[in-house]
Structure 1
Amino acid sequence: MKYLITTLITSAIFTIGLTGCGNLSSSLNIEGQIEGSENLSVVLEHIIVGQEPVTLARTSSDDYGNFSIDLDPKPRPGIYRVRIGAQGGDLILTGEEDQIRISGNMDQLAQNIFEVEGSEATKEMVESFKLANNREFQSVEDISAHIDQIENAYAAAHFAMRGLRSRPEFVEIHNKTSERLIQEHPGTKDAEQYAEIVVQLNQQANQQANRNQQQGGIQVGMEAPDIEMEGPDGEIYRLSDLRGNVVLLDFWAAWCGPCRIANPKIVEIYNQYKDQGFKVFNVSLDGLDPQARARLSGPEEIEQQLAIQKKRWTDAIEQDGLDWPYHVSELRRWQCSAAQTYGVRAIPRTYLIDRDGKIAVINPRAQTNLENELQKLL
């Protein structure tokens, strides 16, 4: 249901009408140079409301990660996605573009923080994602203020959807962004569809709040649910094996900018307190979700992409100096069983667990209160 709503919103807010968009009979060239994409399939997709993405063009990258797609006539204005292997970056086309060039690496592509030339609408979208990726927002109010600063209403709505998804605490931001789209583009199908789907998000948020109230969820004082999962070396690691230590349970991913920003401070705290019984247990949400797997051509390409995802995960462990042994992942992104058990809907997400295996602090932040809370438990 969440995936469907996300797809509908992302689609609905970008199905722009053709009026006033210039000459659509001329061609469009999209070129790219993406590091880490050597000899992979490259697909240009059009996102259509309530449907699976429609493939418009297909090619392959060369030995250096270069590709080129020519479209004649130009595609109509809307939201498009350049998908390379299992990763994809978004383009907002207005009909005025003649040539677009993108560059970066595969992780940047997946986060919409690649470099772009030839599309001002896409550039504004990308710049907003870059800003968000380099900041640690402290509150929902910070995020709301950032979205207010995005000049283009469509770019603001796209950032809200891709950046925030359908998490209940962000429903008010979606409400405000929808109202802005209605005001700036009254009577358009885009604004009407976004408004309809935001109604669904409000209903979903209310239902989630009721479930949380009934079920309690993960709460301070309860015993931490056990996690049993495979590490990069194939060995099975269990959270319960660390009973008797104070443990930071950290849900993260190599592609998560705020996670990577927090890692140096976690390393610093770990090195200072590891001899006093402090451990870190990392659960990675890298990998491929079922939708990404379904888009690939078959088991061989899935295995190839999983190997790439695993390497990004292990490279991030090495690059960030996370040299403790407790790293696990199912390589299923948000479908990770531990993430679902703990109700993780955004990362970084952390839990400080006391020596008795009970939840002591939910979401302590490395840059602010983690060390203080840790000192109370050691």
Structure 2
Amino acid sequence: MKKGLLLPALLLPAFVHAQDAYTIKGKIGTHSEPVKAYLMYVADGKRVTDSAALNNGEFTFSGTVKSPASATIALSYGPGTPRPIAQKSSVSVYLEKGEILVQSKDSMHNATVKGGPNNADNAELNTLLKDVNARNGALMAKYYGASPDMQKDSTFMAGLMAESKQIEDDREALLKQFLAKHTKSFVALDVVKQLAGSTPDYATVYPQFTKLSSEVQNSEAGKQYNDYLNKIKAVSIGATAPEFVQNDPEGKPVSLASFRGKYVLIDFWASWCGPCRAENPNVVKAYNNYKDKNFTILGVSLDQSNAKEKWLKAISDDNLTWTHVSDLAFWDNAVAKQYAIRSIPQNFLIDPQGKIIAKNLRGEELDKKLSELIH
């Protein structure tokens, strides 16, 4: 064997694990300590946070990434900062090879980001969405500026909802327009995520994902999102609900399989979740209407390890008289991860054979669906 042929093999690991070095140079007004800049992003599935004190508005971050990654830089002005200021103190950037400049005469909210093709693409996307974002801001101001009586007026609210729907439709059209032109951009992966929303439909989202270049799909972030989409596929309507076992409040294991032969609503919620608690009366109504007709509910709580009493109190206060389970692991709840849960409330309606036949039924939709199935 010729020794020269060994060289590519020996060098291969270096290419496989290559890292792109980045440097962020910031200049935001003339702020100095105690004002700090915080850089936040995800690497290897874990959240990473770095910080730097400002000196006459200047700060620097440096590091490496396996592939371009979306990040947020936020300013912390210290305790007592008015909420409106704190909410407008961040900017999105893409960590990529080379020097990245983040600059503004006053606030992070007004900062420009330059450096690298992905930050250029992100600036283009922000410009594209500027109008719909302004319309949405005006709509929110209209709602919060209305009197309590106006906020309860059905005609007023119907008008706002119609306007909101039009804004979202226009936003979706713009995102698809951007995606069609930037399939090689890592920004496009985040556009796919925006189009997907918090409760993605695999049949809709996966075709959008496949439009991305192989480089983006095979990046760390791309592979992670593809894994997530595969989990979504496993819990899509028509799929057999993945089996699981988790303990009830007394520590006794409860299996999904033990409910086979009944219609089962797997309800993901938590005592700390306001929208979940607001939806509970509708779930209680459905349970009481159909509990004697081959229907039951299995509640899966995303409460935390130090909040068992709050979980039990919420069950009692909201009259949730069905079976409940939890590992009290918050967002790391094993069943929630298995079912690709990233927002709550969410639910899955399972038929007597264990097949998922509906998802995320809210309000009267749940009662209506059950009335179609159970007589």
Shorter-chain TM-score tier = 0.3 to 0.5
TM-score, length-scaled by structure 2: 0.48
Using the size of structure 1 for normalisation, the TM-score is 0.47
Q: Which entry has the higher C-alpha Rg, 1 or 2? A: 2
